[in-house]
Structure 1
Amino acid sequence: MSDEFAPGHKRRRSLQDSPVDLTIMQKARSSLLSLQRELEGIDETQDQLTTIMAQIDIVQQILGTAKKPKVSFSSISKADLKNVGIERKLLQMQSAQLASMLEAEVAKTSHVQQLCLRIERIYRHVSMRFEAGPRMILDAVLLTVAEISSDGDTKVPVAILPEMRIASGEGVLLKNPVTDFELWVTGSVNYGLCTYEQEDLRRDRVLSADVDDARLLAKSKIFLIEAKRLQDKPLYDFMPEAIAQAVALCEVTKTQTVRFCLTDGRKWVFCLFSKNPAGERVCYEGNSFSIPEPSALLNGALWQESVRQVVELVHHWLVEEKDPMEDSLSSLQ
């Protein structure tokens, strides 16, 4: 028996025929950089750390030649998106159509007022220093949208699926149709939302569904929401992660369009991903809409209107059944 197949030995693999998780190397390099900063100026460790960093850089260069590189959604970069052929363009909300949507008041005044009261309480009592604070605002908005859809004229129930796993195992393959560059992505999205029918019969199954079952049971297309804590970064710096999630969902569900949103609970960016029959893939990124902190300096009616605006847009992104590419609410540039 050869050593390759001896008991206790793993099968030897080629760098060119196995997915290689670059996320592990990226995390190791990040940890080492943090350690370098922590031990900066200590002579006894400086040379060793410099040597280790050089060796890690060499390994990272070798792994970069892998035929099947694999990264998590959170580690994907703008360069990765460009390499797999994702084009980025702008989405602009049309002022007149947005005003008409707000005037129609799909979100009843009572729903908005209750949400405003809840958000005021969150701002009053909850620290926004860590992710859990802004996430409470996000959760309140999503629950309100679900209530509006379920209790409104159409009576369409909504399923909110936290930490929805899009790509597991070896991941989802993203391939550039021109250059044949391949990238495997893995991970989950903070929230997947969809509408469905026959709540009495399907509620339990939908709320326990994975992405495949959700697609099977959903009335609407699955709408993705990625939540972030800003720290020292602007919200748009996290756009590559949200785009990669939308692209992966498009591949998994075999759909041509995916609506998604990037938010920190206070700022909301509404986006659209599209893949045409020729394989061209474009992400349209919108401007941000805000739910500011209420204050004595901010007109109460204007603040409530900003909350309504976000709620109406989330609701529209979730329930609208028209082709997103033909939606008059937004223009694609």
Structure 2
Amino acid sequence: MAPKKRKLSDLSTEQTSRVKGILLSCREICDQLGIDEDDEDLRDLNRIIDKLTDAKHTPFSDVSLLTLGKMGVTIQPMEWRSDGVTQAKAYGTATLPGALTIEDTRKNIHDVLKYVSLESEAGCRILINTLLIHVASNLETDSSGVVIAPEFRVDDTLLGCTENSFGGVVDYMLVYGDKAVRDRIIKSKAFAFSNPEIYKLLQCNIYEAKPEDLFSPIACLPQAAMAAIIKAQRLQMKTFRGCVTSGKRWVFFVYNAENFGHGQGKTVYWLDAIPLGDGFYNPTVNLELILGILRDWVEHGHDDSLRFFEYIN
């Protein structure tokens, strides 16, 4: 007589933990292979993980302003300081010896706009990569450096103020810090970030890419903000910075909490979208400005004091 089949709900706590650990490892391999999180089979895998976790899972792509509102997170504007634009442009223009110059990057952008279709997210990422690599090049010193970690998974996290877990993949995590640590991440971000202590040595930013025809701060900002909130909570950090961009437009934001965790008083401050260009004949008019903010964001990812902006409440 065949043994009676069991249900997932019949598993002991230890057995549930073991099965969940195996499935999480499978999902990590899927991430490393670049499988889309909307893939039907991967969604089935996530549903089983959610069932084992006994929590309804919400991917970042489903987070909205309403979701943040239910968590007690408010959205407020940032404004430029009186000399903020001038300082940001000067910082974006500064070039280290041997690094990419503004002229180098401007030419690279013109080539991307000439040869690459930007209708898809993949095309937009080529444009975004051009600016991010410029910043990384100009922050490379004997002791410190930047790593661009694409397709960075933020582990599913159950938030106490909701009945949902939140998680997913962000398009980029930009990491700045000790060069030896940076090199470990380049070799394998999965191995490097398996040790949570590594974050204490780093400054981190989250970047989300959206194709131009889908780019809307109202729709895109909450998704990236939730990823920043999760990382801030897990790392017990007061501040976490990020950006949403199509490559042609850039929306910078800062998540700031007066105390760790979630609830009333937590705020996402955002800056109006900055266009890279102002038309066909001047497609990089704001290049220095955007590079200056990017460089500051990477260097001061967890610093709650702003260099070019001020919070508005």
**TM-score, normalization: structure 1?**
0.70
Aligned partners of 1:84 and 1:183 also within 8 Å = no
**1:97/1:329 contact within 8 Å kept:** yes
Amino acid at match of 1:88: I
Provide, for residues 70-113 of structure 1, a one-character-per-residue CA deviation record: whole Å limited to 9, x for no partner: 21111122222111221111112224123123235553296111
Which amino acid in structure 1 is aligned with residue 218 of structure 2? Y
Partner of 1:222, secondary structure, is strand
Determine the C-alpha separation between the residues in 1 that align with 2:123 and 2:64.
27
- Confirm whether residue 205 of structure 1 aligns to residue 192 of structure 2: no
Give the distance between the partners of 1:214 and 1:160, measured in 2 at CA: 18
Matches of 1:292 and 1:7 in 2, distance apart? 66
Is the counterpart of residue 116 in structure 1 residue 106 in structure 2? yes
Cα deviations by residue, 1:249-292 (Å, 9 ceiling, x for unpaired): 11222211100001111110110001222753211111111112
Q: Do the aligned residues in 1 keep the contact of 2:240 with 2:302 (CA within 8 Å)?
A: no
For the residues of structure 2 that align with 1:164 and 1:276, how far apart are their CA atoms?
Answer: 27
Aligned positions, number: 269
Map of 2:231 onto structure 1: 249
Q: Which residue of 2 aligns with 1:147?
A: 137
Counting only pairs closer than 5 Å after superposition, residues 31-70 of structure 1 correspond to structure 2 as 68-70=55-57
8 Å CA contact 1:123, 1:293 repeated in 2:
no
Q: Per-residue deviation at 1:140?
A: 0.7
Name 1:312's counterpart in structure 2: 292
* Greater gyration radius: 1
Give 1:19's aligned residue.
none
Q: Which residue of 1 aligns with 2:117?
A: 127
* Secondary structure of the corresponding residue to residue 149 of structure 1: coil
Distance 1:217 1:247 in 2: 15
Q: Does 1:281 align with 2:260?
A: no
| Number of the residue aligned with 1:183 | 164
Q: Which residue does 1:165 correspond to in 2?
A: 153
The SS at the match of 1:236 is helix
Report which stretch shifted further, 211-220 or 99-108: 211-220
Aligned pair 1:81/2:68, yes or no? yes
Q: Percent identity?
A: 20
Partner in structure 2 of residue 18 of structure 1: none
The 2-side partners of 1:88 and 1:183 are apart by 21
Gaps of 5+ in 1: 1-5, 14-25, 29-66
Please name the residue that 1:329 is paired with: 308
Q: Give me the whole-angstrom Cα distance separating, in 2, the residues matched to 1:330 and 1:313.
A: 10
Give 3-state SS (helix, strand or coil) of 1:8's partner.
Answer: coil
* 1:295 counterpart = 2:292: no
Deviations 1:107-126 (A, max 9, x none): 32961111110010111111
User: Residues of 2 paired with 1:27 and 1:125: CA distance?
Assistant: 29
* Counterparts in 2 of 1:313 and 1:215: CA distance versus 1, 3 Å: farther
1:136 matches 2:162:
no
The amino acid across from 1:229 in the alignment is P
Aligned-partner Cα distance in 2 for 1:322–1:233: 26
Tell me if structure 1 keeps the 8 A contact 2:118–2:124.
yes
Q: C-alpha displacement at 1:193, in angstroms?
A: 0.9
In the superposition, the TM-score normalised over structure 2's length comes to 0.75
Q: Which residue type is aligned with residue 126 of structure 1?
A: V
| Cα contact 1:228–1:235 (8 A) shared by 2 | no
Residue 236 (structure 1) shift: 3.3
8 Å contact kept, 2:256–2:266: yes
Determine helix, strand or coil for the equivalent of 2:247.
coil
> What is the aligned-residue RMSD (CA, Å)?
3.4
Q: Structure 1 residue 11: deviation in Å? A: 3.2
Call closer, same or farther: CA 1:321–1:88 in 2, change over 3 Å.
closer
The CA deviation string for residues 223-250 of structure 1, in whole angstroms up to 9 with x for no partner, is 1101112435524311111111011111
Contact 2:116 2:123 survives alignment (8 Å)? yes
Residue 8 of structure 1 pairs with residue 14 of structure 2: no
Q: 2:75 touches 2:270 (CA, 8 Å); kept in 1?
A: yes
